[in-house]
Amino acid sequence: MFEHFFQCPHCWEEISMLLDSSVHHQKYIEDCEICCNPIELDVTFQDGELIGFSTNSIG
């Protein structure tokens, strides 16, 4: 698992999420741990290294 810190696109607070580095490309929705709004995550790993990360607010 890989811990990544970023700003929530809703409340702009810094949050962290654990990402599974064994999966090359992932796209899924999780709620912000601060404001509980949904965030769409688009994550790409190559050889266990994070090479792409983007978020989109939903709603």
Grouping H, G, I as helix, E, B as strand and the rest as coil, residue 21 is coil
Whether the CB-CB separation of 53 and 6 falls below 8 Å is answered with: yes
Paired with 31 in beta bridges are 38
Give the per-residue pLDDT at 59.
75
Residue type for position 41: L
Question: pTM of the predicted model, to two decimals?
Answer: 0.85
Give the per-residue pLDDT at 44.
98
Stretches in the chain below the pLDDT threshold 50: none
Give the per-residue pLDDT at 58.
87
Give the per-residue pLDDT at 33.
94
Q: Residue 29: CB partners within 8 Å, gap ≥ 6? A: 38, 39, 40, 41, 58
What is the Cα–Cα distance from 2 to 17, expressed in whole angstroms? Answer: 8
